[in-house]
């Protein structure tokens, strides 16, 4: 009986030690992962956010409604697609997850955003009384902050906050991490808006790419 208890106690102790060792391993592994990959991941996410937002900055006549609409349809849409092609990629694993999700959680994919922004001008509000009331960005600065990052299998999950400091008129549209979004530009003075997102990334051919996103 005493031998059995000793063996049982020894087994429990060994089991606890294995669990502790595994927890320590995961903590160390994640810390090493963050120190090695965080800067590169941040560069990819902030690169997309900035490039897509800058593509929506309008420098033409602010009283010419047709000019603003044409800008969104041609220049802004093309610039946003360029940003998508540069920083995003497809993930079969994520697409299968979306299809099999039982709890309604869905990650926006590259294809979703491409379909959403064609044509981009369709998201503009045509109900403005005067041409001078059309919304636009004359300038926009984006500050991306990585709140947390962790390894996710062969990829990574990043929680980010993006602060948009915009100048322009009304509430124009831009393309952000979850697709077409409406960020206030105010009326002549800078307006700040912050949004939080969860970003999924995979490392493909030695480069990190965004493969999915959702609100956080």
Identify which of 197, 110, 99 has the alpha carbon closest to the alpha carbon of residue 157. 197
Sign of the C-alpha dihedral computed for residues 56, 41, 87 and 212 taken in this order: negative
Please give the model's pTM, rounded to 2 decimal places: 0.83
Condensed to tens digits (0 to 9), the pLDDT of residues 162-195 reads 999 999 998 999 999 999 999 999 887 899 999 9
- For residues 117 and 13, is the Cβ–Cβ distance under 8 A? no
Rounded CA-CA distance 94/210 in Å is: 11
Condensed to tens digits (0 to 9), the pLDDT of residues 108-154 reads 999 999 999 989 999 887 666 555 678 999 999 999 999 999 988 88
- Reply yes or no on whether the pLDDT at 29 is more than 80: no
Sign of the C-alpha dihedral computed for residues 75, 79, 82 and 88 taken in this order: negative
pLDDT for residue 104: 75
């Amino acid at each position: 009986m005493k031998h059995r208890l000793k063996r049982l106690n020894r087994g429990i102790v060994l089991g606890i030690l294995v669990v502790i060792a595994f927890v320590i391993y995961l903590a160390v592994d994640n810390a090493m992962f963050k120190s090695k990959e965080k800067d590169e991941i941040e560069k990819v996410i902030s690169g997309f956010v900035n490039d897509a937002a800058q593509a929506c900055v309008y420098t033409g006549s602010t009283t010419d409604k047709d000019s603003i609409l044409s800008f969104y349809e041609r220049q802004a849409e093309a610039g946003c697609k360029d940003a998508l092609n540069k920083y995003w990629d497809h993930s079969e694993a994520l697409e299968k997850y979306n299809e099999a999700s039982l709890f309604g959680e869905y990650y926006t994919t590259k294809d979703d955003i491409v379909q959403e922004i064609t044509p981009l001008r369709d998201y503009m509000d045509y109900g403005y009384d005067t041409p001078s009331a059309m919304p636009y960005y004359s300038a926009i600065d984006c500050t991306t902050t990585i709140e947390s990052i962790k390894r996710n299998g062969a990829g990574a999950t990043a929680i980010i906050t993006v602060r948009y400091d915009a100048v322009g008129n009304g509430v124009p549209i831009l393309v952000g991490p979850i697709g077409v979004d409406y960020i206030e530009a105010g009326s002549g003075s800078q307006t700040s808006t912050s949004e939080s997102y969860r970003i999924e990334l995979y490392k493909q051919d030695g480069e990190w790419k965004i493969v999915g996103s959702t609100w956080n």
